[in-house]
Structure 1
Amino acid sequence: MAQLEFGIDTFGDVTASPQSGETLSQAQVIRNVVAEAELADQLGINFFGIGEHHRPDFAVSSPEVILGAIAAKTKNIRLGSAVTVLSSDDPIRVFQRFSTLDAISNGRAEVILGRGSFIESFPLFGYDLNNYEELFEQKLELYSEIVNHDVVTWSGNWRPPLHNQKIFPPIEHGHLKTWIGVGGSPQSIARTVRYDMNLMLAIIGGNPERFLPYVELYRKLSAQSNKPVREIGVHSPGYIAETDTEARKQLFPSFKRIRDKIGAERGWPPATEEDFVHEIEHGSLYAGSPETVANKIVKTVKTLGLSRFQMKYSSGSNSHENMLKSIHLYATKVIPLVQKQLNHS
């Protein structure tokens, strides 16, 4: 198995002060995200991702700006989105923002493209949800042309055509590393193979093993298309404390708050503590002591044949201080435990 990479992700979840319990400003949350990324770099974590949202419970609407600030303060960690909602964006501007980030970071930029699980960006930027599928397909096609060719000629339904157009700034060395975020559909897997991109599985609920058929399909379609199997990663939520009891006690209130808020928008019933425990013990929530989380990651890595595991370390109002401790435990205890187990398997 290739060397496994370890990443962490955040949406800039709006957190609370551990002293007063008051909600922090979105501006302070953004500054805290920069500090969290600095710590991750110092501890040797491979990747730091920031997701895009346009709603009050997440502070980040422009990941690339924050990633640029992080790039100037870090040395080694790779930086990218988690995800960029391509359907409501402009592929040219997406490439330009990330090629600029790549220049600032001296070649450390990545992008994860997706349709997103929230739809606020569509009305915000004037896109019709009835065109949901067509927008993503055509914009991904244009993005692929941009990353693979110095001069682009393209035409579609949603913007004027391009004729022998150069896009600036170009990537200085090689290509802009690109993943497609997949929530679980055969069509998304086929699209990832067609555009010859890396596969990032967004597993945010349920048993991770249920995604094995998608991994097998990705490998099968790649072989049928005479294309190499690119990297396969997983993005899942997690939280680490010294003990299982401590982790559950600290995480459950914020887990329930954010799950109930989103659930009310989507018609889900309120989350119970039994739901929470089930997601930890049988689902895709990597929460607990370093040993518990490491064992769970190893099982997922072996089952799906991963080259990267990314843990979304932020969860609703859980404090910045708690997240810093979780990041520290992830880097100093979980990662070495996972590497040790994989090296002896």
Structure 2
Amino acid sequence: MSAMQFGIFTVGDVTPDPTTGREPSEAERIKATVAIARKAEEVGLDVFATGEHHNPPFTPSSPTTLLGFIAAQTQRMILSTSTTLITTNDPVKIAEDFSVLQHLADGRVDLMLGRGNTGPVYPWFGQDIRTALELTVEHYGLLRRLWREPVVDWSGEFRSPLQGFTLAPQPLDGVAPFVWHGSIRTPEVAELAAFYGDGFFANHIFWPASHTEQMVRLYRQRFEAHGHGSADQAIVGLGGQVFMRPNSQDAVAEFRPYFDNAPVYGHGPSLEEFTAQTPLTVGSPQQVIERTLGFRDYVGDYQRQLFLIDHAGLPLKTVLEQLDLLGEQVVPVLRKEFAVGRPDRVPDAPTHEQLVAARRESSATGAADVSPSAAGRQGEQA
């Protein structure tokens, strides 16, 4: 796998196709998501990630179930989440689910933790949205211990204490899945990622580039301040959103009705305004390449780029065509161009194999824990 990882993420929305009025069933949408993941591997992408939602019109309420099914039908691609709700999920259950998934997928697993953006979810799972940040910090502190300590004694504010708890199964090869912390607008999440030396994923869809630049800069500065390496060794991921056709005018004309009626940003700014003010790119593969390469100008060299391509009612056939364009015309160029001028000290995106190798090295030297930048450098030497 190259220094950078490229892939797609889905939010799993069930949305009527605005050009036909047809709405897929939940079963159709779930099966379509599996087909999209399989196609992503087929065209050479590195990562497939799913969101987590517990309310209509979304289907991915059980990400690890979906990813386990996909794991059985893929061989190479990393399976991840584009949000695992650290606030409303119990850390014990997160630890168990992802340990099982690690074993099933032979380590091709990581996850992105986030708070989610749907307020009603909190009481559904017995939590209070007013304590979201405190929940995030406490739950993640426990999750880290569950993956790293054979016996855990723990007490906190938001769940019952644990006495002599042992996680079963233990993480594959004794190495926890790599964790990204995802956020659109919360500096405290960037700080949490930096404190632990984890990855930081900027959603990079609905906000202008200047906002993403500010969040990533904060994370990099704090990563260095916490002693995990230099700022340019911090592990950064970006979201993105594209729609392509060989002719850019065709792309704009075809995508416009989907944009105008999208559940999240429909009936707001025009497509032209939105593409000018955010990283959404609608046009030719070459335009997507140029826009994406420009991300490095304001976040620096980074490790993971994920694209959203299957939302707003786009039919499966169209999404699979988007994947063909990504795999054949866009990602090969991005891999080559992003490697140009990339300093040797910038780590690769972490993989299970790199984390295992770095853990062995740290055990040999007596180091306490493995930083992601160390794991990435281990990958460069492998």
TM-score (norm 2): 0.82
**1:37-56 matched pairs, under 5 angstroms:** 37-56=37-56
Shift of 1:326: 0.7
Report the residue type matching 1:297 in the other structure: T
Instruction: Measure the CA separation in 2 of the matches of 1:319 and 1:153.
Output: 49
Q: Which residue of 1 aligns with 2:257?
A: 253
Secondary structure at the aligned position of 1:76 is classed as coil
Aligned residues of 2:261 and 2:267 also touching (Cα < 8 A): no
Does 2:207 align with 1:206?
Answer: yes
Aligned residues of 2:239 and 2:308 also touching (Cα < 8 A): yes
Q: Which residue of 2 aligns with 1:235?
A: 239
Pick from 303, 308, 313 the counterpart of residue 312 of structure 1: 308
Q: Which residue of 2 aligns with 1:219?
A: 220
Shift of 1:124: 2.1
Does 2:328 align with 1:332?
Answer: yes
Does 2:86 align with 1:89?
Answer: no
Secondary structure at the aligned position of 2:282 is classed as strand
Aligned residues of 2:52 and 2:60 also touching (Cα < 8 A): yes
Pick from 270, 274, 280 the counterpart of residue 279 of structure 1: 274
Q: Deviations over 1:53-73 (max 9, x none)?
A: 122222221111111110000
Secondary structure at the aligned position of 1:88 is classed as coil
Shift of 1:120: 3.4
Secondary structure at the aligned position of 2:241 is classed as strand
Shift of 1:344: 4.6
Change (3 A) 1:224 1:26: same
Q: Deviations over 1:86-122 (max 9, x none)?
A: 1011111111111111111111011100001222321
Change (3 A) 1:99 1:257: same
Q: Which residue of 1 aligns with 2:367?
A: none
Report the residue type matching 2:258 in the other structure: S
Change (3 A) 1:26 1:120: farther
Secondary structure at the aligned position of 1:331 is classed as helix
Instruction: Measure the CA separation in 1 of the matches of 2:264 and 2:5.
Output: 30
**1:151-230 matched pairs, under 5 angstroms:** 151-173=151-173, 174-228=175-229, 229-230=233-234
Pick from 284, 290, 300 the counterpart of residue 285 of structure 2: 290
Secondary structure at the aligned position of 2:180 is classed as strand
Aligned residues of 2:17 and 2:258 also touching (Cα < 8 A): no
Instruction: Measure the CA separation in 1 of the matches of 2:17 and 2:30.
Output: 14
Report the residue type matching 2:222 in the other structure: L
Q: Which residue of 1 aligns with 2:110?
A: 110
Report the residue type matching 1:256 in the other structure: D
Q: Which residue of 2 aligns with 1:6?
A: 6
Q: Deviations over 1:133-176 (max 9, x none)?
A: 22222111111222332332221112121233211111112321
Aligned residues of 2:202 and 2:216 also touching (Cα < 8 A): no
Instruction: Measure the CA separation in 2 of the matches of 1:287 and 1:56.
Output: 27
Change (3 A) 1:253 1:4: same
Q: Deviations over 1:230-273 (max 9, x none)?
A: 42001122222222222222222222222xx446xxxxx93243
Structure 1's unaligned 5+ residue stretches are 264-268
Change (3 A) 1:42 1:124: same
Does 2:77 align with 1:77?
Answer: yes
Change (3 A) 1:156 1:32: same
**1:15-30 matched pairs, under 5 angstroms:** 15-16=15-16, 21-30=21-30
The runs of at least 4 consecutive aligned structure 1 residues that moved more than 6 Å come to none
Q: Which residue of 2 aligns with 1:244?
A: 248
Report the residue type matching 1:222 in the other structure: F
Q: Deviations over 1:163-190 (max 9, x none)?
A: 3321111111232111100213332211
Instruction: Measure the CA separation in 1 of the matches of 2:254 and 2:170.
Output: 45
Shift of 1:216: 2.2
Secondary structure at the aligned position of 1:278 is classed as helix
Instruction: Measure the CA separation in 2 of the matches of 1:49 and 1:59.
Output: 14
- Supply the RMSD in Å over aligned alpha carbons: 2.1
